[in-house]
Amino acid sequence: MAERMSGIQNALWADRPAWRVELPSGRCLDTARRVLVMGVLNVTPDSFSDGGRYFGHDVALRRARAMVAEGADILDIGGESTRPGSAGVSAEEEKRRVLPIIERIAAESGVPVSIDTQKAEVAEAALDAGAQIVNDVSALRSDSRMAALVAERGVPVCVMHMRGTPRTMQKSPAYAEVVGDVKRWLQERVAFALEAGIRREAILLDPGFGFGKTPQHNLELVRRLHEFHELGCAVLIGPSRKSTLGVVLNAESDARLYGTLAAVACAVMAGCHVVRVHDVKPALDVVLVCEAVRRGMEWSP
């Protein structure tokens, strides 16, 4: 029992390896003091949680500004839903949805913008519009031009684990051992990215909470998140409002805030570098308190 408790304590109080990366603008992402909060903005009619809520340039821009005011370190803007069972949209439609928002918020705010897309054409247009990070849920697999684009532009890239595609990923997901399987898969994607010329410090690894996993798989990934440090890259996780929390809480997506915050706290204590959330201010409060607890007597405001 003592060994088991020691293992759990190590997981929940894991050290967070240093991570610092310079963006093309000269601004740096740095987790020396605390975990960074990435705010989610889905400019779509069909995303699983907020689909349709910000589907319009005016309302989306107001939401982006609100997240900046709440303290977001990064804004992640996407124009194509990746909810389970979703179908894709054309690159032209995706660009129509996101580019006006990216142009405006990048021009008026110092907060770095991430483009959530699997298409190099969309990513390139977004980077031209002011985005400085690419978030590719396909882990550079969907578009053969994406890795070269990221390397050429010198921007950070989020590489996420997903079985299959959003349309198929939740059809009986199974693993021999979920953490080991996901780690090996991400290790291969890191090798691919490095071979393409992407800097190791520019790679963020996302184990894909909710993407091709059962609730038990997702919970195990959070519990053992510290093990992904072995891959030598920053770790990002996005548990916000996911269905696993709904299973645990017996709650619909709009009633999962407290569950999301609990998952964020666990992820911070397990040593993640970035949390991706819909509710920026509450998540930032959790991050700040967790960091204060982690530092103990060394903490100062």
For the chain, which residues make up each domain, given as ranges?
33-291
Q: What is the CA radius of gyration of the chain?
A: 18
Q: Measured in whole angstroms, how far is the alpha carbon of residue 234 from the centre of its chain?
A: 11
Angle in degrees, CA 204, 205, 209, rounded to 5? 130
pLDDT of residue 58: 86
Strands (E), 110-242: 113-116, 133-136, 157-160, 203-206, 234-237
Taking alpha carbons only, the member of 151, 126, 129 closest to residue 140 is 151
Single out the catalytic residue among 53, 241, 276, 294. 276
Could you report the per-residue pLDDT of 178-228, keeping only the tens digit for each?
Answer: 999 999 999 999 999 999 999 999 999 999 999 999 999 999 999 999 999
User: b/e map of 165-188 (b: 16 or more CB within 10 Å)?
Assistant: bbeebbeeeebeebbeebbebbbe
Known active-site residue 242: yes
pLDDT of residue 199: 98
User: Which parts of the chain sit beneath pLDDT 50?
Assistant: 1-2, 5, 46-52, 54
pTM value is: 0.91
Could you report the per-residue pLDDT of 77-95, keeping only the tens digit for each?
Answer: 999 977 666 567 899 999 9
The span from the CA of 92 to the CA of 104, in Å, is 19
54-57 contacts, C-beta under 8 A, 24 or more apart: 55/97, 57/100, 57/101
pLDDT of residue 221: 97
Tokens 């400019």 correspond to: 43
pLDDT of residue 5: 44
Single out the catalytic residue among 34, 242, 256, 294. 242
CATH number of 33-291: 3.20.20.20
pLDDT of residue 296: 87
- Determine contact, residues 110/87, Cβ cutoff 8 Å: no
